[in-house]
Amino acid sequence: MSAFLLSEVAPALEAKKALQFRVLIAANLASVVANENRSEIERFNAETARLAALLKVPVPSALDATERSAAVEHMNRQLITGLRDGSIDFAAALTHLRATARETLAVTNPRFDPSDELNQ
């Protein structure tokens, strides 16, 4: 889908810049979603392993994408509760969340620079 939009549709829209811009966005989104789908199970496993350790609960078993999404949402709500009442270690949660953000960004925006030493 992404290749079609980029190689066939976008060049034909040279004269309609606003539409061409949206075609480029659509192509990029299609490509990002494809990448996300390919890596989704690995990222789910990594994220829920860390969450399970933080929350001291078992790693969830989930059969399909909908169940995986629900499992992560449930654990995230527990994480939020634990952060607010202080029962979860802040530094450990911070490390987990930074790792999760990086794993997501590696797929959704590989050009994003996640280094801590961004010139301050």
Partner 1 sequence: MNERIAAVLATHGAHLEQVTPLHGGACQENFRISATVEGKATQWALRSDSDTSLPGSLRRRDEFAVIEAAVAAGVQTPRAQWLSPGLLRPGRDAYFLDWVPGEAIGRRVVRNPELAGAREKLPGALAGSLAALHGVVPAQVTLPLAPVASTPARAALTQLRGMIDGLPSALPAVELALVWAEKHLPTSSEVVLVHGDFRTGNFLVTPDGLAGILDWEFAHWGSRYEDLSWISVRDWRFNRLELPVGGFAARRPFYDAYAAASGHTVDVDQVLWWEVIGNLRWAVGSVYQGERYLSGQATDLELIAIARRCVEMEHEALRLIHRGAL
Interface residues toward partner 1, by CB under 8 A: 22, 25-26, 28-29, 32, 73, 76-77, 79-80, 83-84, 90, 93-94, 97-98, 100-102, 104-105, 108-109, 112-114, 116, 118-120
CA atoms within 13 A on the CB side of 57: 16
Rank residues 7 and 109 by Cβ distance to partner 1 and give the closer one: 109
Q: Shortest CA distance to 80 belongs to which of 96, 61, 99?
A: 96
Q: How far is the CB of 10 from partner 1 (least distance, A)?
A: 14
Residue 43 Cβ vs partner 1, minimum distance, rounded to whole Å: 12
Angle between the N-to-C axes of helices 17-55 and 90-108, in degrees from 0 to 180, rounded to the nearest 10: 150
Shortest CB 36 distance to partner 1, Å: 10
Of residues 10 and 93, the one with the C-beta less far from partner 1: 93
In the chain the first and final C-alpha atoms are separated, in Å, by 40
Q: Which of 51, 106, 54 is nearest to 62 (CA)?
A: 51
Q: How far is the CB of 56 from partner 1 (least distance, A)?
A: 16
Alpha carbon 5 to its chain's center: 24
Q: Which is nearer to partner 1, 11 or 90 (CB)?
A: 90
